[in-house]
Amino acid sequence: MLFLFGRQLSGYGRFGRLVNCVLLTGVIATAAPAGAAPVSILALGDSITAGLGLPPDESLPAKLEERLKADGFDATIINAGVSGDTTAGGLARLDWVMADHPPFVLVELGANDALRGLDPSEARDNLDKILARLAAEHVKVLLIGMMAPGNWGHAYAQKFDAIYPDLAAKYHVPLYPFILDGVALDPKLNQGDGLHPNVAGVAVIVEKLAPAVEALLKSSAAGQG
């Protein structure tokens, strides 16, 4: 994923409130009991998920798995990230990556659609189909959002950015609004290309994202209790 942020990012307070709403909904259960089989979480995404430019053990899925285990969740995260992938690419390979029927999926797609200036309605349609198929399989989903770059104009960004909250509401799935929250535009947290998080950037993402993933696991356990 190559992503150019042509506009200053603002409104993190708004994103924080959205995340807090996610975390405060239905989170009453504890981690899986000792001795239970590890839970599988599929991370379906682009280069941010794939870990472009990083050693495999420093990728976002690897570090997020470490965090979950440290917090008492016996979880295995399957890295199904493909650098350069679009929402269409994610949809095309969905059957293959879901062959083992993981009960949880993190959907992190759309940045490359925005980078290439693809019609937001196409990205929305692809993500809609992904979420519909996961819902049909009764998979628990965390939708992870992205913001459009500013070089396509305000109208494009407004249409693109609305995709994630709209679909999260449609499918009643939790939303983590912006995968690069706290990382975008900070040279200390990105690789030399200024586009992909470095090790320190991944650490920031994990710190912010882990509570939302843990809330997903807890809410599922609560529903089974």
Query: Phi-psi region for residue 185, left (φ > 0), alpha (ψ -120 to 50) or beta?
Result: left
Residues 35, 208, 95, 74, Cα dihedral to 10°: -10
Tell me if 78 sits within 8 A of 113, measured CB to CB.
no
Rounded to whole angstroms, the Cα distance separating 77 from 50 reads 12
Query: DSSP 3-state assignment of 115?
Result: helix
Strands 39-45 and 75-81, sheet pairing: parallel
What does the block give as tokens for 149?
A: 């770059």
CA of residue 37 relative to chain centroid, distance: 24
- With tokens 């979950």, the residue in question is 68
Query: DSSP 3-state assignment of 79?
Result: strand
What does the block give as tokens for 146?
A: 């992205």
Query: DSSP 3-state assignment of 193?
Result: coil
Query: Mind telling me the catalytic residues?
Result: 47, 193, 196
Rounded to whole angstroms, the Cα distance separating 168 from 201 reads 26
Report phi then psi at 175, rounded to 5: -120, 130
